[in-house]
Amino acid sequence: MTLRVWNIILFLPILLCSTNSSYVPPRIEMKRLSNIPLISSWNNNSAFLYNYNSAFMPTINDSDAVALLVRVQNLHSGSKSIYDVGPSRLALSRSLDDTHLKYSYISEQDILIDTDREYQAIGVEDPRIVLYNNTYYLLYTALSSDAHGVWRAQLTLATCKNNCFTKGNWIYYGPLFPNVFWSKSGSLLIHNETHRYLFFNDSNIAIARTKDLIHYDLSSTFLLTTRPDHFDSDLVEAGPQPLKLSDKNYLFLYNSGRQVTTPNPKPGWHIQYNLGWAILNGDDPTQVLARSEVPILSPELDWERCDNTSGEWANRGLTPLVVFIEGWKQTDEDTFLVWYQGCDSTMGLAELKVHFS
C-alpha cells in the first residue's frame, strides 16, 4: 500500500470476462491462527517500528521451511507524528518453529532490498515472490520523487539464484514499464512454458504477458475492476501469485478498498481494506469463473482496525482499517497459510480452506 495516483495508466478498460454463470464456486473460509501480531516492534521482535506487507519466500532445499520478506519502516528522525515515516525497505525473517507463529528478530543486518538505487530512493514496498526453476523472481514497488516532490511508483523486478538470503546476491532489472508513471503490486502466474501472466496495479488489476519472465508486454485489458456497492468499490489490488486448486482452476486473492465513515485518528483517512477472491480458469487464467460477493477477511481485531475504539492500537497504526496480503503457502490440498498485515504496522497469520462440497 502507498499513496495512489488515479488514471495515470491509460488502458482501454475491457474486463476480460464476467463471472461464468455455469460454474459453481467453492466455499472459501478463512480463520485467524493468532489474535496477537506475529511480527511487531511492540512484541520486541523487530528493530523497526512498522513491519508489514510480507511475501512468503520458499526455501529451495526445504519445502517445509518458512521465510518472509517483510516491509520494514521507521519514523523520520524529526517526526512529529506516527505518520511521518522514512523510506521502507525489505528484510528477511524466518519462522522459528512448525507453528509459524514465532519469527526471528529483524535487524538492520536482515535487509535484502534497500533504497540504494535512484528509482527506489524513497522506498521499496509490496513484495511478491515466485520460485521457479530454482530462481527467485521478486516483484516489488520502487518509489522515487522528482524535483517538485511528486512521488512515482514503478513495478520493479529482481532475481536471485544463489545464497539469496544475503543482500548482495540479487540481480536488479529495474522498472518493468519505464514509460509508465505509476505501476505497482505485481502478481506473477507461470501457467506453463508459453503462457505467463502478470496481474498488477491498484485501482483496477491490469494484465501483462511475458515469455522470459524478465520483459513484460502491457495488455489493454483488466482482470478485475471495482464494483459499485461492494466491498471492493473503491479499489482492487493484486495479492500474491494465484495457486491451483484441486479442481485445476486457480484461486486468486486480491486486496480491496471501500469508503467508510469509521472514526479513526489518521487525518483524512476514510478507506477500509478487505480481502476478496476470484477463481481463474485453469485453462485460461485471464478468464474469471467466479468472484467473492463478500470479503473473506476484514479488519476486526484492535491491531487490524487501529480506529478510535482500538485502545493502545489507535496510536500505533500507520494506516487504520487495513488487512492486506502479499504472501501465502499451500500446506495441503485446498489448504493454505496466509500472511497478512494489520494497519500497515504488523503481521498476522490465517488459514484459508476451500471446500467443493
Say if residue 10's pLDDT is above 70.
no
Is 3's pLDDT higher than 70? Answer: no
Amino acid type, 267: P
Domains of the chain: 14-355 (2.115.10.20)
Residue that wins the pLDDT comparison between 21 and 118: 118
- On the question of pLDDT at 14 being above 60, the answer is no
d(CA 19, CA 34): 34
Give the DSSP per-residue string, 317-347.
-SSSS-EEEEEEEEEETTEEEEEEEETTTEE
Distance CA(234)–CA(167), nearest Å, equals 37
Confidence of residue 93 (pLDDT cuts 50, 70, 90): very high
CB 175 within 8 A of CB 191: no
What are 103-143's pLDDT values in tens digits?
999 999 999 999 999 999 999 999 999 999 999 999 999 99
pLDDT of 268 strictly over 90? yes
Summarised one tens digit per residue, pLDDT across range 218-252 is 999 999 999 999 999 999 999 999 999 999 999 99
pLDDT of the residue at 19: 62
Q: Count Cβ neighbours within 10 Å for each residue of 126-165 and write b for 16 or more, e otherwise.
A: bbbbbbeeeebbbbbbbbbeeeeeeebbbbbbbbbeeebe
pLDDT band for position 2 (50/70/90)?
A: low
Distance CA 72, CA 283 (A): 38
Identify how many contiguous H helices and E strands the chain contains and give both numbers: 1, 22
Number of alpha carbons in the 13 Å side-chain half-sphere of residue 238: 30
For the chain, give the mean pLDDT.
93
Contact 292, 278 (CB under 8 A): yes
* Mean pLDDT (whole number) for 139-152: 93
Cα 77 to Cα 62: distance, rounded to the nearest angstrom: 40
**Nearest by Cα to 183 from 221, 238, 137:** 238
Rounded to the nearest 10°, the torsion over CA 221, 223, 226, 231 is 180
Tell me how far apart the alpha carbons of residues 120 and 110 are, in angstroms, rounded to a whole number.
18
Q: How confident is the model at residue 357 (pLDDT cuts 50, 70, 90)?
A: confident
Q: Which of 246, 237, 117 is nearest to 182 (CA)?
A: 237
Alpha-helix runs per DSSP H in the chain: 302-305
pLDDT digits (tens, 9 = 90+) for 28-80: 999 999 999 999 999 999 999 999 999 999 998 888 899 999 999 999 988 99
Distances, alpha carbon 228 to alpha carbons 25, 41, 221, 225, 270, in Å: 22, 38, 19, 10, 17
